[in-house]
Every structure is written in structure tokens, then in C-alpha cells.
Amino acid sequence: MEENTETKAIVPLRSPQETIAVLGHSDKHLKTLRKLLSAQLLVRGQEIQVSGTPEEVRLAERVLRDLITLVRQGAEIDGGTLEQVILVAENGQSLPVEASTPALGEVTLPGRLKPKTPGQRQYVEAIASHDITFGIGPAGTGKTYLAVAMAVAYLKAKKVKRIILTRPAVEAGERLGFLPGDLQAKIDPYLRPLYDAIFDMIDAERFDQYIQSGVIEVAPLAFMRGRTLNDAFIILDEAQNTTPEQMKMFLTRMGFNSRVVITGDVTQIDLPKAQKSGLVEAMRTLKGIQGIAQQYFRESDVVRHPLVARIIKAYELAEHHAEVAER
């Protein structure tokens, strides 16, 4: 006779209003949770009864308590939030709560922007406490967006005098002369993601003023050569597509009272196969050096459409199986 390993737990709710906020009108969110979680969920008044194996119950409890925390913080729950909370919980983590507001010193993130995952919170804390921070991880984890947000925060707090945004124009081999149009027309396509991030935080008129006065500079990496950048917040995006020589050149541009953030995805290297990535080499070479942080994002930190996290996880699993098969 098999031993019954089913366990049970009860997650209480404070009020009918909180119950609706967590479970959705007409139990919309509850139905989604039942599809995504293996544990059994049964609602009795203002409590949720959870049953299943110990592992299933632990995961469901963590998810439900995180959702309750978000509701109590004033957040509105939607389908994307449900999947995000589950992904984070599956990695044994909880979403940031108000008590875990990032320690950013004298700066404040623009608007109502807040880190949405533990990885994002650790990232902005690393930027605030280190002169150089590497943000490494898949698309959609907020690497560039949060770096730009921190740059704007530092500028507004007068901790730096200018922002410099750069990325390698690898698609053109950094040889922009053959492309049609003036210089700005040549480089804009490669820098568009940086513009998109900063336009969310600075209105177009002020951005134009900052560009004209040199307070904000957006330029290809090749334009950094030979310069020393003091009193600046410098972001190198798509750093996986730098060569080791380019990365060394960039890192040695750092001047006094400057902060550097380097972002990239080491699974998306567009360099020729024989060419080493400057990001990969720098991560290895600079590991453990005081003043330099390396923050790694996971699929649970993806805050785009929920399918993006699933796609990343599926590719990682396929790559793992391929590596095992080759051994």
C-alpha cells in the first residue's frame, strides 16, 4: 500500500476586496493559477486551501503570498504578473516587497519605476554601489532600460554632469562611411534601442536640448577611442559584440567621478565565429576586482510578454540537451 504524501496549507485573505484583487473578477486569475500550478486550489470564503505534494504546495503558497503582497502594495494583477510571479517562485525567490526597496543612496529612479524582480533589484543596487557594473542576461530582463533609468537618476541628482550611451555598430562592421545619409542618419539605426529607453524618461524637447548641449551623447563605440570621460554615467549596450580590444579601450576611457554600466547577452554574439567576445573575456578577467559587480539575469527576470521567458527557457533546455549529447 502506497503512503499518502499529500499535504495541505491555508493562505488567508483580509477581505472580500482583497480576494477579488488576487483571484480576479469571476475567478479569472484563479482559473489561470489552476492551469499553471500543479497543486489543487480551493477557495472557502476569505481563504485559499492548497493541497498536493509538499513541493507543489510550497510553490503554490509562495506564489499566492507574493500575489497578496503585490495587491497590498497597490499593484494590479494581470496574466503577465501571474506568470512572472510563478517563474520567480520556481527559482526559489520572491518578488521584491516595499521593505526591499533598492538602496540607491541619494538618487531616485524616474517616475514610478521600480525593479520588478529580485534580479532587477540586485542590479540597481549593484549600480548604486559599484563604479563598474556588468549586467548579463537574456532579452527582456531590463538590463538596458534600468541602466538608462539609473543614468537619468544620477543626472537629475547632479551626481554626474552627462550621460553617454554607446554600443558597437557590429552590423556595419563599425565602418559607417559607406552607408547613405549624414552621420546621424548612419548611426541612428544601431542606437535606436538606447533612444527608445531614454525617451520613456525624458521628453523629446528636453532630450534635444541635452543632445545639443552635450549633456547626453549617443554614439557608436568607435567614437569613444582616445577620450577620457569624467563626471559621466556611461552605458555600453550590446557589449557581447565588442572585441577584447574594443572592450579594453572602452574600460580605460573611464575618468574621475564616473559610473559605467556594461550590458549584454552572451548567448547572442554576432561577431565572426573566430573572434572572441570582449564581454566574455572581461567577465573572466575582471572577476573579483573590488569596485566591479557582475549581475546575472535569469529567465525569471524577463518582464516582457510571458512567452518570452518560456522561449528563453526552452532554448536553454535544448542547448543543455545538445551539450549532453555531444559528451
Q: Any residues with CB less than 8 A from the CB of 8 and at least 6 apart, and which?
A: 49, 50, 51, 57
CATH 3.30.1370.10 residue spans of the chain: 7-90
- Please state at what angle helix 54-72 crosses helix 28-36, rounded to 10 degrees: 150
Q: Which residue has the cell 504578473?
A: 81
Which pTM value belongs to this model? 0.68
Residue 163 is predicted with a pLDDT of: 95
Residue 189 is predicted with a pLDDT of: 64
190 in Cβ contact with 169 (< 8 Å): yes
226 DSSP 8-state letter: T
Q: Any residues with CB less than 8 A from the CB of 285 and at least 6 apart, and which?
A: none
Count of CB atoms situated within 10 Å of the CB of 105: 13
Residue 306 is predicted with a pLDDT of: 62
Q: Does domain 7-90 have CATH number 3.30.1370.10?
A: yes
CATH 3.40.50.300 residue spans of the chain: 117-323
Nearest to 24 by CA among 80, 77, 83: 77
124 in Cβ contact with 116 (< 8 Å): no
Residue 184 is predicted with a pLDDT of: 53
Q: Any residues with CB less than 8 A from the CB of 172 and at least 6 apart, and which?
A: 179, 186, 190
Please give the helix or strand (H or E) that residue 135 lies within, else none: strand 132-136
Residue 99 is predicted with a pLDDT of: 39
| Superfamily holding 117-323 | P-loop containing nucleotide triphosphate hydrolases (3.40.50.300)
CA distance readout (Å), 91 to 94, 117, 119, 300, 306: 9, 11, 11, 7, 16
Q: In what order do the strands lie in the sheet with 132-136?
A: 216-220, 162-167, 232-236, 259-264, 132-136, 292-296
SS3 state of residue 223: helix
Residue 4 is predicted with a pLDDT of: 57
End-to-end CA distance of the chain: 41
SS3 state of residue 251: helix
Per-residue pLDDT 10s for the chain (327 aa) are 445 578 999 999 999 999 999 999 999 999 999 998 999 999 999 999 999 999 999 999 999 998 998 888 777 788 777 877 887 788 777 665 543 456 676 677 876 677 877 888 889 999 999 999 999 998 888 899 999 999 999 999 999 999 999 988 754 444 444 444 444 555 566 667 777 888 888 888 888 899 899 999 988 888 888 888 999 999 999 999 999 999 999 999 999 999 999 999 998 898 888 899 999 999 999 998 999 999 999 877 877 666 766 787 788 788 878 877 877
Bridge-partner residues for 294, per DSSP? 134
